[in-house]
Structure formats: structure tokens, C-alpha cells
Chain A
């Protein structure tokens, strides 16, 4: 009985699927799907490497400090870093006084209440504060930015396919639209052509426009590519502050496991020796 009904059900599902396949195939042949314009013009992130890449990669603190400077002077006016606290900057090599000064002088103050009146107010940040948001809320952010909300950058290198190379490519990827781009896909008012962005037209104006837009204190030449790479490296750190620690812990754990597994394998061999010897006699 089970098999009888089973075969009937099987014939029904398989039949339906073959029927759907047939109709889909006819449709595919008679009316082949056109690749969306976004597919034709979209480009994969550029090949760019970072000091923190690979199983032995480490953060380059000099670069992270430069990247932080780019974030502060170029990005911070519109993009928040709400999951990162000023105290975390100590990991980039800033000392306690420097962190305190960075927090106190940050371009936006931390929301607070007036201790006398209880009215909403702001105060200078302290190291324990997270980076204050550049806009009070999404409505304010959209209103100030041509209806597009600038995303928070804390997790951006983990929240986009392609990671940090994608961020780097986006920053350096602005160009004039190619002449063969259909009219419907050309950037409208307030939009900018960027083939690395999913739908090709991004609301953000090119943020890094020319060399020496920031002045690095360590003497590094601030080219567009250098600044983009530095800020991307900084954003790897904001998304995964424990990245280097993870890899170091990983090597210690794997070294331990290798030794333990080899020992366990040897004891397995010893325990089974007699039973296996019987089998060997047969194979010989």
C-alpha cells in the first residue's frame, strides 16, 4: 500500500516538475531572458590587499591612524560609527590623553540633558562614549542628503559583499557613465555613476576628490588611492576589532589540536593493532 501510494505521489510531483521544466524551457528558447543592464555594467571589486589579510595578517597601526584621520575629516560629517567607542581608539596606538582629546574635540557632541533644566542638550564626549551619530534620526539624515540615508560605517566591511576591497573600489570607482549606457540607467539628479555600486548610481557625491585632501602627519603622500585604502583598512578594524586576536588564538588552538589529534590517532592505532593484524593476514 505504501509503495502504491508512494509511486502515485512520486509520479504527480515528478510529472508537475517535468511539465514546469518543459514550459520554462519553451519560454527560455522562444523568449530568452535579457540580462539586466546592472549586470552588464556592474564591476567586481578591484584587487587590493590589506596588511590584515591572510592567516598571519596584522593591522598596520600607522595605516589605521591615517584611515581614522580620513574618516574624521572626510566621512564623519555624514556617516556614523555608532558601535565603536572612543576608548577603542587606544587599540590603534593612541595614548590615554590623545583618546581623551579626540573624544572631547569630536566634531559632533554627545546627546545629553541639561542638568539644571532637564532639557535636551549636548556635552563633549568622553572616552567611554560611542561615536555620536551625525544626524538625530533617519528623517533628518534623509532630509540633509537628498533623500538617501548615509549608512553607519561600523560594520560596513562585513555588511557588503566584497568587504574592504569593495569599499576601496567604491571610493575610487566614480567615473563618467559609458556612452552605451541606456538613458534609463543614467544617473538622475543628485546621483553619481559608479560601476561598483549595485544599481550603478549612488547618491553619495565622490568623497575623496583629489590628492592631499587630508594632510598626513607621518609624511605619507595622500593620494586618492592611498586615502581610500587607509580608510578601508580603518573600517576593517571597526567591523572586526578582534581580527588579529582571532587569528593568533586560532594558531594556538590548531597547534594544540594537531598534537592532541596525533596522540589520539597513535593510541587508536595501538588499540586496534591486534584486530587489524587479523585483517592484514587476509590481504597478504
Chain B
């Protein structure tokens, strides 16, 4: 859209012209995902996960709307209404398993999408706003997923809601009122279930709105690419359609094979057995754990085991858990290295692959494990590295690191010929 060499939309039919004057929806599509969006020619498969995450959001919205037609948000019958969907609604089991596993696949896609941004410096100027909106989308996705897991009103739903809303209790003075406001009472019950259902239905549409802003702000500077070098001319790009629609399309098929493999053959592998027991406020499950996509943050929360002066350990854990995500909002200004792509940053690359990635994996394992040794000590070391990576290593690294020479252009990186000679 903003590129001087962007193709202009030319309606070919009379009706197309008539529409273009009144409601240029064809122009919008053409410029956002059509031939009118010039995209770097060298994007690798890590650039496929944005559209994939969008696809799974649509899966969630469609299956979710159907589930809502049969689900009853009432603490007395919510559990049985889910079993009614599984047993009596035509293909209800398919809709529910698609929704339950779709959430996991949405998070797989979104984590790889975030990881891509972290490694290739997609958060750096001029793309800071895309990154900030992306963090907002991620926060909304976490809130939506958490509330969705409460709806079946099983044991893990109930106790998960109790533990997570209980976190707010740690905040001095206002904590308790906030918790009561969230729950609509003193403990999770019908009021909490109803507002969670209402918000679980609302937030995905808020997400869709922020995703439109996310994509809008992407189309101002255009896509980043594995070299991190700016697009310098038309030879550096290919039109989004048909080149990337085709690439996204076949990759979507591949992802769907994995997704349907999960949902038809091991639909409960990522869930908890305890959630097939109806919620019982009088019986606490042996291990209360959230869904796998929250494990790293849960590990950070539980890593704080000692009070600091007058600050209790629980409050420290809550502050650290929220800070661990909020730190992403400051990332564009913490990492000031002018080089975007990790491919050309020898030290950053090492910290990324041998520091950050193992640290997140360890946090994930520890978050899913019971709170006992050695998991607590491991999560303390990994959490310490997590904060050090974003808040200490990245700011200092951008000062001392000597980046490798960048290619002059994308075309040169791909074909070996300077931009001017390439056809």
C-alpha cells in the first residue's frame, strides 16, 4: 500500500468500477492479501504462523458459536450440558474436540509467530506498533483461554479459577475487592461462571478487532524478512497473491493434518483427567495445573519462595509473572541493535538458541510439574535467566556486539546478484 511500486487496483468490470466508487472492498482485499501487497520474496516457513493463528481463531469462533447453542452457563448444569454435547448433539463431540484442541493449536501458532518476531527482530523500528498490538492480542488470548477452560465446570475448571483469581488477592489493599469483582462473589460460583461465559464470547471479537489493527499497521512498513534488510525495489518482492496465498495454503493443509490427528485420535491428550470430574468446592485436586500454554508463566509465579523485606513471596510471584509478559511491551526500546535479523548477530544468536529457548522449555516443564524439587530450583534459575535476557542481556548486547555484514538487498541475498542486475 505504501510502496511506490505497489500495484494499483484496477477494476476490470463495470460492476467492479461501480463498487470501487461506492465501497472499495475489492481494493481493500487486493491491497491487503491480494496482488497489490508486495511481500519480500525470501520469507521462510516461520512467516506462515501468523495466517495460521488467524485461521485457528476462526475455527475457535465458529466451533464456539455452535457450542454456545448447546451449552448452559449455569453451575448446576454446565458440566452435564457439556456431556450432552458429547453424547446427544449430532457430531457434538467433533465440535467440542475441535474447540478444545483448536485452542492448543492457536497457541502453538501464536508462540511460533512470537518466536519468529523475537529472532528476526520484527519488533524493531519501523514495526514497533505491530509488535505492541501483537502483545495485546496475546494477552486477550490468554484471558479468553483461561475463561474458556472454566466453562465445563469440572474440577480443574473450578480450582483453576480459584487459584488464578486468587492471585489478585496478593495485591495490597485493592486485591481482595478486585478478586470479588472478578468472581462476583467470594469464591467461584454461578456468578463467576456467567460472567466468564459472557466475556469468553466477547473477547475473541475484541481480538479480531485488534488483529485488524495489527495487520493494518503491518501494511504500512510491509513485512520483515529473514535478512532484516529493507525492501529496496520491486525485484525484492513478489505479490502476496498468488505467491504467499499458495504457500500459506499448502502449509495450512499440513497443519490441519496434525490438528485433526490430535482431535480424532488423542483428543484429551492435552487436557486433564480431573476436568471430567464435576466441580466440587470441598475436594481439592492433588495437582492444580493450568493448560500447557500457561506453564512457563505459572513456573515464574511459583519460583518466588521467599519474602523480600515487607513484600510477601506470593506478591513477588504475581508481579514477576505479569512483568514477564509486560516486558515485551518495552522490547523495541530495550534492544537497540540496528540489525534486525538474528542471522547477522553472532552473540544474540547464541543467547537466543542456548539461553532463551531452553529457558522457556525448562519453565514450561517446571510449570506443569508439581511444586517440588528439583522443579522449584530449576524454575528459579530459568526465571532468573528470563528476566536477565530481556532486561539486562539484550540492552547491553546491542552496545557491545559486532554484527556481521548485511547483504545489500534481499535480491542479492537470494540470487547472489546485485539488485540492479537482477531481472
- In the bound complex, residues from chain B placing their C-beta under 8 Å from that of A11 are 391-392
Within the complex, what minimum Cβ distance (angstroms) separates B193 from chain A? 20
Contact of A2 among B254, B333, B377 (CB under 8 A): B333
Contact B391 A17 (CB under 8 A): no
Contact A17 B384 (CB under 8 A): yes
Within the complex, what minimum Cβ distance (angstroms) separates B220 from chain A? 23
Assign chain A's interface to a size class: 35 or more
A49 on the B face (CB < 8 A): no
Interface residues of A in 1-18 (CB under 8 A from B): 2-3, 6-7, 9-11, 13-14, 16-18
**Interface mask (A1-40 → B, CB under 8 Å = 1, otherwise 0):** 0110011011101101111110111001000010000000
Contact B416 A9 (CB under 8 A): no
Contact of B249 among A28, A258, A268 (CB under 8 A): A268
Contact A20 B333 (CB under 8 A): no
Contact A254 B257 (CB under 8 A): yes
Within the complex, what minimum Cβ distance (angstroms) separates B268 from chain A? 6
Contact of B372 among A3, A6, A33 (CB under 8 A): A33
A275 on the B face (CB < 8 A): yes
B256 on the A face (CB < 8 A): yes
- In the bound complex, residues from chain A placing their C-beta under 8 Å from that of B334 are 2-3, 6
Contact of B247 among A20, A163, A249, A268 (CB under 8 A): A268
Contact B383 A17 (CB under 8 A): yes
Within the complex, what minimum Cβ distance (angstroms) separates B266 from chain A? 9
Contact B392 A14 (CB under 8 A): yes
- Do A264 and B273 contact each other (CB < 8 Å), given the known contacts A21-B377, A24-B377? no
Contact A25 B377 (CB under 8 A): yes
Residues in A lying within 8 Å of B, measured CB to CB: 2-3, 6-7, 9-11, 13-14, 16-21, 23-25, 28, 33, 55, 83, 88, 151, 154-155, 158-161, 163, 198, 239, 241-242, 246-247, 249-251, 253-254, 257-258, 260-261, 264-265, 267-268, 271-272, 275, 278-279, 281-282
User: Could you give 23 example pairs across A and B, Cβ below 8 Å?
Assistant: A3-B395, A9-B323, A9-B391, A10-B392, A13-B383, A13-B384, A14-B388, A16-B306, A20-B305, A20-B380, A21-B381, A83-B83, A198-B286, A246-B264, A246-B265, A250-B261, A257-B253, A258-B257, A260-B253, A264-B250, A267-B249, A268-B249, A275-B238
